[in-house]
């Protein structure tokens, strides 16, 4: 039986409007930097972050390196977003060998996933457990095993090496956060609609410049982060169920009761027709 083997980790991030790689170093140059961190820090989100997926080589599939590029302000950093991304990746033709069992032509029933211990990925968090359970049920898997990597041995993790290759690929790349005009109004207030348009364009530009970067014998294929609007709505209810106060949970019960009633009415109407 073929198994899916994934290593996942968030890359450090790519700052727009600068080529700096560290808050203590203003630019990539040999001479002393003449700029400081405040020279390029904006009052609105201006960072892209890539979630790296490393599909280990197996007897039936070669190693695959994938990245999902997201922007703070367009995408959330939580388990619901990760599930939406994983569902999106599973539908990509280039990645089907990593998800589909060639013997049955169905999603692989045994899944091994290695993640870090962050709040959005650590398997000890109830919210994370919920969304992996959703994935397990949707894929009709026999076993989904989520483990946390040893933080003291990052150099052994192929996904960490992939992050390093990605960092090397976007070295000296400059992308402004104002591709479609300034994100600020005349009075200095943030134009959130313009900001989202700019962030969307920067993702496209980043992918066009960096996708295909070498990582060992493979190439890193980059994709835009998935739209997780529906997942986020469900995630809000999950958080209320897990750690909401008394008033929030009472509202949650009323809301779910209304949903159940609406579904019953809909099913009754369907039966009559």
| The pLDDT of residue 171 | 84
Average pLDDT rounded to a whole number, residues 151-175: 82
pLDDT band at 28 (very low <50, low <70, confident <90, very high): very low
For residues 68 and 53, the answer to whether their CB atoms sit within 8 Å is yes
pLDDT band at 84 (very low <50, low <70, confident <90, very high): very high
pLDDT band at 183 (very low <50, low <70, confident <90, very high): confident
User: Higher-confidence residue: 81 or 18?
Assistant: 81
User: Higher-confidence residue: 216 or 32?
Assistant: 216
| The pLDDT of residue 72 | 87
pLDDT band at 25 (very low <50, low <70, confident <90, very high): very low
User: What percent of the chain is predicted at pLDDT more than 70?
Assistant: 82
pLDDT band at 59 (very low <50, low <70, confident <90, very high): confident
| The pLDDT of residue 271 | 58
Tens-place pLDDT, residues 85-109: 999 999 999 999 899 888 888 889 9
Helix (H), strand (E), coil (C) string for the chain: CCEEEEEEEECCCEECCCCCCECCECCCCCCCCCCCHHHCCCCCCCEEEEEEEEECCCCCCCCEEEEEEEEECCECCCHHHHHHHHHHHHCCHHHHHHHEECCCCEECCEEEEEECCCCCCCCCCHHHHHHHHHHHHHCCCCEEEEEECCHHHHHHCHHHHHHHHHHHHCCCCCCCCCCCCCCECCCCCECHHHHHHHHHHHHHHHHHHHCCEEECCEEEEEEECCCCHHHHHHHHHHHHHHHCCHHHHHHHHHHHHHHHHHHHHHHHHHHHC
Residue 143 has pLDDT above 80, yes or no: yes
CA-based torsion, 210, 216, 219, 225: positive or negative: negative
Residue 65 has pLDDT above 90, yes or no: yes
| The pLDDT of residue 116 | 86
CB-hemisphere CA count at 13 Å for 8?
24
| The pLDDT of residue 230 | 92
pLDDT band at 75 (very low <50, low <70, confident <90, very high): very high
| Beta-bridge partner residues of 218 | 215
Tens-place pLDDT, residues 184-226: 888 888 888 999 999 999 999 999 999 999 998 889 999 999 9
| The pLDDT of residue 90 | 93
Residue 166 has pLDDT above 50, yes or no: yes
Q: How many Cβ atoms sit within 10 Å of the Cβ of residue 70?
A: 25
| Total-model pTM | 0.84
């Amino acid at each position: 039986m073929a198994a899916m083997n994934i290593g996942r980790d968030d890359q450090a991030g790519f700052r727009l409007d600068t080529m700096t790689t560290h808050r203590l170093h203003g630019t990539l140059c040999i001479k002393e930097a003449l700029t400081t961190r405040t020279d390029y820090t904006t009052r609105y989100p201006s960072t892209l972050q890539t979630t790296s997926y490393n599909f280990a080589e197996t007897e039936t599939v070669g190693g695959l390196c994938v990245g999902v590029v997201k922007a703070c302000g367009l995408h959330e950093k939580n388990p619901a977003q990760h599930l939406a991304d994983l569902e999106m990746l599973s539908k990509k033709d280039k990645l089907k060998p990593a998800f589909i069992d060639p013997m049955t032509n169905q999603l692989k029933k045994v899944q091994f996933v290695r993640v870090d211990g962050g709040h959005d990925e650590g398997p000890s968090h109830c919210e994370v457990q919920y969304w992996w359970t959703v994935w397990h049920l949707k894929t009709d898997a026999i076993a989904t095993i989520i483990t946390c990597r040893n933080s003291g041995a990052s150099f052994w993790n192929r996904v960490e090496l992939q992050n390093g290759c990605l960092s090397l690929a976007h070295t000296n790349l400059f992308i402004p956060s104002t591709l479609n005009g300034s994100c600020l109004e005349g009075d200095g207030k943030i134009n959130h609609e313009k900001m989202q348009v700019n962030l969307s364009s920067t993702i496209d530009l980043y992918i066009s410049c960096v996708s295909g970067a070498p990582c060992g014998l493979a190439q890193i294929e980059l994709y835009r982060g998935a739209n997780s609007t529906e997942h986020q709505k469900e995630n809000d209810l999950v958080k209320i169920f897990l750690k909401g106060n008394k008033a929030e949970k009472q509202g949650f019960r009323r809301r779910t009761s209304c949903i159940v009633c609406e579904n019953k009415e809909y099913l009754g109407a369907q039966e009559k027709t």
